[in-house]
Structure 1
């Protein structure tokens, strides 16, 4: 009886356990902040009817598609950058043949402890294996564990240098308009001439008024004013 119970418990444990990751990842320098890191992936072939046609990867935060370059892979395969990662593809692989390839990443994030590379494996019959979920689930994404960054490694969120800050301030500073000596002299001359112009206008208006009233009185009296 005890043997039967033990066997039943073992079967239940195996049934309840999540599936192992079917895309493996490793790196030659698995350390936060490391540069020129060669990362190797192995996507296991899950289909018994079709071969792997392509592998698409969504890069984790802190790594841009432009930071990834092709190193090696199946004959005829190549890497193409996408908006959020890259795709490796080429002649379809044979049924049950794993897709193993390597890329080089310019620099790993300095403040990361692990990196999840969500992966889609597409087969020639259109079937897609989606290894994009969290660890411990049925479809976990491959995760690269990282050692802590070396002391003094700069992070991507570092504050700008004082020189850069000063330069930015200089660009955005508004300068006052420059007045030349000639402009100042012209402004002064215009200011000094203004009272004389006003006086001339007043005199002309006054003379016109006097002449008007004299003409009017002359007309009313029928003779000289």
Structure 2
């Protein structure tokens, strides 16, 4: 094999190494799943507003069984009624919001439901901190509220509000929901969680698994490059 062929082979090995490392970077990135909220009338002080929520499924082995939502300041649990939800799902008020759930959805199925709110508060934006509990006990926490435009890993569903309509008034001051003690799943979600490892342990296991995969791929890439370099030196030595 002449020198040009050897150089071509080395370039191919280097390209494969770069591609493999790029793939590692992509797979090691944050999950794309998220939770969102939209409104039929996104204005401050708007009345009888329908809020529609979507929580994207992110598990490959379990379905969403319950969503626990912490209501923002100005919306009390008794000011919310269920409008539409997956079959057999029910809404239950909690001290700081509500829980909605029922039979676990099929794996990979997003959880979509809507509620009616008596009146939106006079705010510029509303954050609905959400916990998603899966049938295997895993809990995804979409509870971070970005400030100053910064990005967060697990953003809570955020609803931007327009200015109130002219003449709009607050119907009756609604009591603010009780402060969420620690944003924990409801009793139904906790019962499901007891059948699996604690959330913290599960997160650590997932992180360890991801890290192990990255290390294995990087090691394989380095081994490939080293083998190519050794082969090149050996061919050069034998050709000299």
TM category, shorter: 0.5 to 0.7
**Cα distance in 1 for residues equivalent to 2:54 and 2:76:** 21
Instruction: Report the alpha carbon displacement of residue 20 of structure 1 after superposing the two structures with TM.
Output: 5.6
Q: Whose Rg is larger?
A: 1
Q: Secondary structure at the match of 2:140?
A: strand
Residue of structure 1 aligned with 2:68, choices 56, 62, 77 = 56
Maintained 8 Å contact 1:119/1:141:
yes
Shift of the 119–98 alpha-carbon distance from structure 1 to 2, 3 Å rule, reads same
Maintained 8 Å contact 1:21/1:142:
no
Maintained 8 Å contact 1:56/1:87:
yes
**Cα distance in 1 for residues equivalent to 2:48 and 2:101:** 23
Shift of the 53–32 alpha-carbon distance from structure 1 to 2, 3 Å rule, reads same
- List per-residue Cα deviations over 1:152-205 (Å, max 9, x = no partner): 3235898xxxxxxxxxxxxxxxxxxxxxxxxxxxxxxxxxxxxxxxxxxxxxxx
Shift of the 28–157 alpha-carbon distance from structure 1 to 2, 3 Å rule, reads closer
Maintained 8 Å contact 1:109/1:156:
no
Shift of the 16–50 alpha-carbon distance from structure 1 to 2, 3 Å rule, reads closer
Maintained 8 Å contact 2:35/2:156:
yes
**Is 1:97–2:70 an aligned residue pair?**
no
Shift of the 150–53 alpha-carbon distance from structure 1 to 2, 3 Å rule, reads same
Q: 1:126 matched to which residue of 2? A: 137
Q: 1:36 matched to which residue of 2? A: 48
Name the Cα RMSD after superposition.
Answer: 2.9
Q: Aligned pairs, how many?
A: 152
TM-score normalized by structure 2?
Answer: 0.57
Shift of the 83–18 alpha-carbon distance from structure 1 to 2, 3 Å rule, reads same
**Cα distance in 2 for residues equivalent to 1:144 and 1:14:** 29
Q: 1:24 matched to which residue of 2? A: 36
Instruction: Report the alpha carbon displacement of residue 24 of structure 1 after superposing the two structures with TM.
Output: 1.1
Runs of 4+ in 1 over 4 A off after TM superposition: 13-21, 155-158
TM-score normalized by structure 1?
Answer: 0.60
Q: 1:201 matched to which residue of 2? A: none
